[in-house]
Amino acid sequence: MNFEHTDDRRMLADTLVRALRDGYPIETRNAGAYGETGYDPAVWQQLSELGIVSALFDEAAGGFGGSGFDIMVVFEALGRALVVEPFLGALMAGRALAKAGEHDETLAGIVSGETIAAFAYDDGMTPVTATESGDGWMLSGTKAVVSQAGAASVFVVTVEQDGDPLVLLVPADTAGISVRSFNVVEGGAAGDVTFENVTLGADARVGGDGQGQAIVDAAVGAGLLALSAEAVGAMEFVKEATLGYLRDRKQFGVPIGKFQALQHRMATVLLEIEQAHSAVINAASAFDGDDAKARERALAAAKYTIGRTGALVAEETIQLHGGIGMTWEYAVSHYAKRLVMIDHQLGDEDYHLQRYIALG
């Protein structure tokens, strides 16, 4: 099996890495991440104009990529720079619409970066319900901690129901919708989206009878791969930062990297990162395959692995840096928070370990 990237994919990765290296220092990232909007609209526009969102979709959806490895290289680069702009929402909402083959105008806006979309998937304390109302539905309840909910102009909302999930496309300005936005601990923004007797027409439905689960699986599968790749990119950054610190920091007149105890700890970190990288490569390869069970199992394995490894890498790199690793000004502290929190998105390591076993 050939895991080498195509020339186009390497060019895409190089372009994105260079743009983020030159124009997205940690100070710029933090100004947007912990600001009112939770991201920088100017950065989002710049990266969209480079075609980064388009690379996440195939030609049928208006993009120029869309394979598992395209998602992998984009989100690995985003993770390396700790990007908080709303790429995950674009990927998941867009994949849902593309799977259904509907709402082409909205999908085109998402792919171009002109439309910011949020995928409202996890239910909050109040489950979201949809009752039939005429030819459409009445939506009530709350979706909790929806990424970039405050910035979104459109939501793709999933509603659990007997038999098959209902997927709905809901403009953010629809009467009865309110969003309580807040910054999240690792930087970026999320929001609780409340639907109070929101009336939707028949055209709000994404997909037809019996298609809901396939649409949800397409969106969530892409999200799992993206988060796993993002984690690997973040791990690569902290790995390089920690190796550099061990070479430069001196105690008793020698670099602390000469101390055998620290070498052993760093060697463990390096091995675990390589294992996580391999799991993500395997998931990216299986993502485009015809075997749905193998795909879901590989995604579960990747998400489990980066959850377990991410916590280890975050803890060890902070410990190896000492006090400076906890400071706001030092980038590693922000990466450590993000690595820990990625585990809690779309199911944590315990959930995906059980899922992997069940799929066996």
Q: Is the sign of the CA dihedral 57, 60, 61, 63 positive or negative?
A: positive
- Contact 169/110 with Cβ under 8 angstroms? no
Rounded to 10 degrees, what is the CA torsion of 145, 335, 5, 353?
A: -60
- Contact 126/141 with Cβ under 8 angstroms? yes
Band of pLDDT at residue 44, cut at 50, 70 and 90: very high
Q: Can you give the C-alpha Rg of the chain in angstroms?
A: 21
Band of pLDDT at residue 325, cut at 50, 70 and 90: confident
Nearest of 100, 24, 15 to residue 64 by alpha carbon: 15
CATH 1.10.540.10 residue ranges for the chain: 7-116
Q: Is the sign of the CA dihedral 237, 242, 243, 247 positive or negative?
A: positive
**119-204 — its CATH code?**
2.40.110.10
**What's the CATH number of domain 7-116, 3.40.50.300, 3.30.1110.20, 1.10.540.10, 3.40.50.1000?**
1.10.540.10
Lowest model confidence (mean pLDDT) among 26-40, 65-79, 249-263, 267-281: 249-263
CATH 2.40.110.10 residue ranges for the chain: 119-204
Q: What's the pLDDT at 125? A: 54
CATH 1.20.140.10 residue ranges for the chain: 212-359
Q: What's the chain's average pLDDT?
A: 93
Tokens at residue 13, please? 């990765």
Q: What's the pLDDT at 215? A: 96
Q: What's the pLDDT at 122? A: 65
Q: Alpha-carbon distance 135 to 248, whole Å?
A: 67
Q: What percent of the chain has pLDDT over 90?
A: 84
Question: How many other C-beta atoms lie within 10 A of the C-beta of residue 35?
Answer: 14
Nearest of 319, 342, 133, 54 to residue 223 by alpha carbon: 342
Flag whether pLDDT at 280 surpasses 60. Answer: yes
- Contact 147/122 with Cβ under 8 angstroms? no
Mean pLDDT across the stretch 131-148? Answer: 92
Mean pLDDT across the stretch 269-295? Answer: 96
- Contact 57/63 with Cβ under 8 angstroms? yes
Angle at CA of residue 279, ends 274 and 283, nearest 5°: 145
**What's the CATH number of domain 212-359, 3.40.50.1970, 1.20.140.10, 1.10.10.10, 2.40.240.10?**
1.20.140.10
Residues 6+ apart with CB under 8 A from 154: 93, 106, 110, 115, 116, 117, 118, 169, 170, 171, 172
Nearest of 320, 319, 308, 313 to residue 336 by alpha carbon: 313
Nearest of 168, 167, 192 to residue 178 by alpha carbon: 192
C-alpha distance across the termini of the chain, in Å: 23
For 200, the enclosing helix (H) or strand (E) is strand 189-200
Q: How far is CA 229 from CA 92, 178, 237, 278, 282, in A?
A: 15, 32, 13, 10, 11
Q: What's the pLDDT at 123? A: 54
Mean pLDDT across the stretch 76-95? Answer: 97
| Single pTM value for the model | 0.95
Tokens at residue 287, please? 């993502």
- Contact 142/177 with Cβ under 8 angstroms? no
Flag whether pLDDT at 96 surpasses 60. Answer: yes
